[in-house]
Amino acid sequence: MRILHTSDWHLGRSFHRVNLLTAQREFIDHLVTTAREREADAVVVAGDVYDRAVPPLAAVELFDDALHRLAELGVPTVMISGNHDSARRLGVGAGLIERAGVHLRTDPAECATPVVLDDAHGAVAFYGLPYLEPRLVRETLDAPAAGHTAVLDAAMRRVRADLATRPPGTRAVVLAHAFVTGGAVSDSERDISVGGVASVPAEVFDGVDYVALGHLHGCQTLTERIRYSGSPLAYSFSEATHRKSMWLVELGPADTGEGMGTGSSALSAERVDCPVPRPLARIRGRIEDLLADPGLARHEDAWVEATLTDPVRPQEPMARLTRRFPHVLTLAFDPERPPEDPLASYARRLRGRDDQQIAEDFVAHVRGGRGPDAAERTVLGDALEAVRTEENGAGRDAGVGTGGTEGTR
């Protein structure tokens, strides 16, 4: 059986204020085309279909279009909800949609009710484990504790119990949305550690033929049978080096007739690249170097995250960078400092200093150590004196500071 594994679409998400709806629509086109041309027998989507619980209308319309196109293709599709999705909203109409061959699995109580598909070698049972928030599903799953490992282990016990009732040689595929130990994280995944220790051991999934994971945005292989597809698009600059793709998994016949989902079927997996709307680049250095370096020419059409290391903040840095890199999206400053920087403890140096000294220290701080000259010190002194004069005038107007008495109100 040929299975196309994807996850983490995050429909409705933007990239640093850049609308990604067009890129997401191109990915759906690519998904449908790949399923058709590579003759996939099933498509699995391992959670985070949407980017937030109440997605924008345009994202809902795109999802609706994806459902229609997958149904028209005639390729059975199994989807689970992720931690970004509203499980109840995503699952609305699941019974009706299932008649079209699209199977939404959003209810933790139904995690042991598989979608069973057949190929030339027998049955394959697809078990959908939606994102399991420990505090909310502990009682539903009879888990011994409210932790991620405990609830996933309880869900997998139910899966194995159901699998034990299936005919010998039945193969098992599990969809799960979780942080499995050994996975590499990026900046764009929402933290799920609020429910206890976030990661779960891969051994939780022992005994099944393939585990299609979602949640982490980098495509990665934890074991031959446990893989993340990653997100089809980059959603943070920490993913600049990611190769965005899907897994095309070939699941062969079981090597044993004992059943019980021993995870002994033949398996191979191929990465299928996703379209890239625009490459990402992270550049760092002094602004003059970034503007002149010929080696950075390859990034001129990329979405750029620039970090300037100039000791003194340059004037109009974004405007100047944009002339060479028109798609600069973020700009940060990390000034170069001497190893023994006397300004590193700036807050501590304020103690015991008067306003003039504090102001001069601040100027030196933002300039990387170069303090004000004589003329600038005069300007600072005049400004501070003007503020004090204004404050004293305000106090007299309020009747305070005139011989120690308070005025009438």
pLDDT at 378 over 80: yes
Q: What are phi and psi of 245, to 5 degrees?
A: -160, 175
Q: Is the pLDDT of residue 401 over 70?
A: no
Give the other-Cβ count within 10 Å of 166's Cβ.
18
Kindly give the pairing relationship between strand 18-19 and strand 14-15: antiparallel
Q: Judge whether 259 and 269 are in contact, CB under 8 Å.
A: no
Render pLDDT for 326-377 as a digit per residue (tens, 0 to 9): 999 999 999 987 665 555 555 555 566 788 888 888 888 777 778 889 998 8
For residue 127, the cross-strand partners are 174
Query: Residue 316 half-sphere exposure, CB side, CA atoms within 13 Å?
Result: 4
Q: Are 286 and 309 in contact (CB under 8 A)?
A: yes
The token pair at 91 is: 């699952």
Q: Determine the Cα–Cα distance for residues 34 and 92; give it in Å rounded to an integer.
A: 27
Determine the pLDDT at residue 403: 42
Q: What are phi and psi of 190, to 5 degrees?
A: -75, 135
Determine how β-strand 245-251 pairs with β-strand 2-6: antiparallel
Q: Is the pTM of this model over 0.85?
A: no
Helix H or strand E encompassing 100: none
Q: What are phi and psi of 240, to 5 degrees?
A: -60, -30
**pLDDT tens, 202-216?**
999 999 999 999 999
Contact predicate 175/44, CB 8 Å: yes
Percent of the chain whose predicted confidence (pLDDT) is above 90: 73
Cβ neighbours for 125, distance < 8 A, ≥ 6 positions apart? 114, 115, 116, 162, 163, 166, 170, 171, 172, 173, 261
Task: Output 366 or 313, whichever has higher pLDDT.
Answer: 313
Structure tokens at 343: 């300004």
- φ, ψ of residue 220 to 5 degrees: the values are -160, 155
Residues 153 and 142: their CA atoms lie apart, in Å, by 10
Taking 80 as the threshold, does the pLDDT of residue 399 lie above it?
Answer: no
63-76 pLDDT per residue, tens: 999 999 999 999 99
* Residue of 275, 295, 277, 276 lying closest to 285 (CA atoms): 295
Higher pLDDT, 400 or 56: 56
Both tokens of residue 392?
Answer: 């004293």
